[in-house]
């Protein structure tokens, strides 16, 4: 497959280079005030210098040469990259309206058709996001009722860990199942058994799709969508999308047949009620089936992948740093005792809170961030950026900003502690991004991470498999849109 792609790109490069020779070079027409960047080659742009497995790493290196605002070109697409806390805060928070659009990336457009929330645009995005935030709050996000759901799921996960009796096991599947059950409880008002084959298939589709979305071949497709027939990856992603859509459609039909406007049970019910109200006003603008399908899929994939990947890092890091794990467990014992940990305990547990925050910072599970686009022409940091410019606010550059963190490349919980051992907030803590495109499930995600983490460390000592030392743990990041660690086996020894 690699040689087919290479020959195709070479052929296309030669063809377009000849056309450029006749028509003149369009890259010369760029504004002189456009951000600086490496010189692009015809057709391929800066592809030759990009690490397609870790494009965020290449961008970090380029920022050292060109500064916090620079341009790259991937294929024919010019992209402005923003790096560092101050620059990204200025763009996403201080100029939120200007940088609020979503860039039209080919696979995102194929996947969503512009519907839902994550990849949608303009007024459709605003309406769907507003509805999603309101509905998530209605179903308990940030409330004790949601904490009770999470606590119940924590107890199921603890029991599952107990079945292995301290022997090594693959923990990622069951942790992903537990996390998925939280978002499923909101979407459908139910939970699944961890061994339910249909449920396993469902969250496996989410995990695989997130991995494929960030793969090298997908990036090539996004640069050269006309060569899509050569790549199996976008075809696989769209196959997964059809299977996810079939699941949503089946549950949508069930909800529709049992709908009671005065007793909504889940997210789908609330959407259908809103849809009927919109029809009564003869305003059939946004609450149609396509937006329902995409919104549910957005919530399911995002709600599964980001939290589960962060927990994978949390457990791997606790095995890597057993003294930190022991200190967390001592604080849990002293503050919580043997009752179920709740979100309300966080304020009394500064060290544990600091560790959880540092896990999220260090894990950096979406290093590239979702791409933005400008809504108007803007002068930014001394450069002119036209309307509809593709913009990457590089999230990893904030979470690893050397001007903001004492030890940005190390796991160091003291980042979030003062000299008295009290928890301190850090402005550069942006694992869920910032501004108008901030993850709608931020509050839910933070609560899940804290409660799953403390519930398991309350009951178990996490260790590498026999024969492995903490130095043997694979701390490399997986290749994908989310970047969990490659470690997948642990031993959970009962504490009591």
What sections of 188-231 are H helices per DSSP? Answer: 197-213, 216-223
Can you tell me the distance from the alpha carbon of 315 to that of 313, in angstroms, rounded to the nearest whole number? 6
The residues, ordered by sequence, that sit 6+ positions from 159 with a Cβ below 8 Å of its Cβ are: none
Compute how many other C-beta atoms are within 10 angstroms of the C-beta atom of residue 257: 7
Q: Give me the residues paired with residue 493 across strands.
A: 461
SS3 content of the chain, % helix, strand, coil (to 5): 55, 10, 35
Can you tell me the distance from the alpha carbon of 294 to that of 312, in angstroms, rounded to the nearest whole number? 27
439 is known to lie in a ligand binding site: yes
Terminus-to-terminus CA distance in the chain, angstroms?
53
Place of tokens 């992209």: 79
Residues 393, 370: contact at Cβ < 8 Å? no
Residues 392, 92: contact at Cβ < 8 Å? no
Q: Give me the residues paired with residue 345 across strands.
A: none
Q: What is the CA radius of gyration of the chain?
A: 23
Please report how the helices 197-213 and 232-257 are oriented relative to each other, as an axis angle in degrees rounded to 10.
Answer: 140
CA-closest candidate to residue 390, choices 172, 221, 163, 222: 222
Provide the token pair at 76.
């024919």
Residues 65, 86: contact at Cβ < 8 Å? no
Compute how many other C-beta atoms are within 10 angstroms of the C-beta atom of residue 326: 13
Can you tell me the distance from the alpha carbon of 430 to that of 350, in angstroms, rounded to the nearest whole number? 19
CA torsion sign for 92, 93, 99, 100 is positive
Provide the token pair at 252.
């949508």
The residues, ordered by sequence, that sit 6+ positions from 106 with a Cβ below 8 Å of its Cβ are: 221, 222, 225
The residues, ordered by sequence, that sit 6+ positions from 269 with a Cβ below 8 Å of its Cβ are: 189, 255, 259, 260
Compute how many other C-beta atoms are within 10 angstroms of the C-beta atom of residue 42: 17
Give the angle subtended at the CA of 182 by the CAs of 151 and 371, to the nearest 5°. Answer: 130
Provide the token pair at 391.
């913009």
Q: Which residues are annotated as a binding site?
A: 439
Q: Which residues are annotated as a binding site for heme?
A: 439
């Amino acid at each position: 497959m690699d040689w087919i792609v290479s020959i195709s790109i070479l052929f296309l490069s030669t063809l377009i280079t000849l056309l450029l020779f006749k028509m003149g070079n369009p890259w010369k027409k760029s504004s002189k005030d456009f951000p600086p960047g490496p010189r692009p080659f015809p057709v391929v742009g800066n592809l030759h210098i990009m690490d397609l497995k870790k494009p965020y790493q290449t961008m970090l290196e380029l920022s050292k040469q060109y500064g916090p605002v620079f341009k790259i070109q991937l294929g024919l697409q010019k992209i402005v990259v923003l790096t560092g806390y101050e620059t990204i805060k200025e763009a996403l928070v201080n100029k939120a309206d200007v940088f609020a659009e979503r860039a039209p990336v080919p696979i995102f457009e194929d996947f969503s058709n512009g519907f839902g929330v994550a990849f949608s645009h303009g007024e459709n995005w605003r309406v769907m996001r507003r509805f999603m935030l309101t509905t998530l709050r209605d179903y308990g996000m940030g409330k004790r009722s949601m904490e009770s759901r999470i606590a119940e799921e924590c107890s199921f996960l603890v029991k599952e860990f107990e079945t292995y009796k301290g022997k090594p096991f693959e923990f990622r599947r069951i942790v992903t199942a537990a996390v998925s059950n939280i978002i499923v409880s909101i979407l459908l008002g139910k939970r699944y058994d961890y061994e339910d084959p249909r449920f396993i298939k469902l969250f496996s589709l989410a995990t695989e799709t997130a991995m494929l979305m960030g793969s090298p071949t997908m990036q090539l497709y996004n640069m050269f969508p006309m060569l899509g027939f050569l790549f199996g990856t976008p075809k696989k992603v769209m196959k997964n999308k059809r299977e996810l859509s079939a699941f949503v459609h089946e549950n949508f039909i069930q909800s529709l047949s049992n709908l009671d406007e005065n007793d909504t049970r889940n997210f789908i019910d609330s959407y259908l009620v809103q849809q009927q109200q919109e029809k009564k006003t003869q305003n059939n603008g946004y609450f149609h089936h396509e937006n329902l399908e995409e919104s549910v899929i957005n919530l399911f994939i995002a709600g599964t992948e980001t939290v589960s990947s962060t927990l994978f890092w949390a457990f791997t890091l606790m095995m890597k740093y057993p003294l930190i794990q022991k200190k967390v467990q001592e604080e849990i014992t002293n503050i919580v005792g043997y009752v179920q940990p709740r979100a309300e305990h966080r304020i009394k547990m500064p060290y544990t809170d600091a560790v959880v925050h540092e896990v999220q910072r260090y894990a950096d599970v979406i290093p590239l961030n979702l791409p933005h686009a400008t809504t108007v022409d803007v002068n930014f940091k001394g450069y002119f950026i036209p309307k509809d410019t593709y913009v990457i606010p590089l999230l990893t550059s904030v979470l690893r900003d050397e001007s903001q963190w004492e030890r940005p490349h190390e796991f160091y919980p003291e980042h979030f502690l003062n000299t008295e051992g009290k928890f301190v907030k850090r402005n550069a803590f942006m694992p869920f991004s910032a501004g108008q495109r901030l993850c709608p499930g931020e509050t839910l995600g933070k609560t899940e991470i804290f409660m799953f983490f403390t519930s398991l460390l309350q009951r178990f000592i996490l260790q590498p498999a026999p024969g492995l030392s903490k130095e043997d743990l694979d701390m490399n990041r997986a290749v994908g849109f989310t970047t969990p660690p490659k470690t997948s086996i642990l031993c959970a020894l009962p504490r009591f």
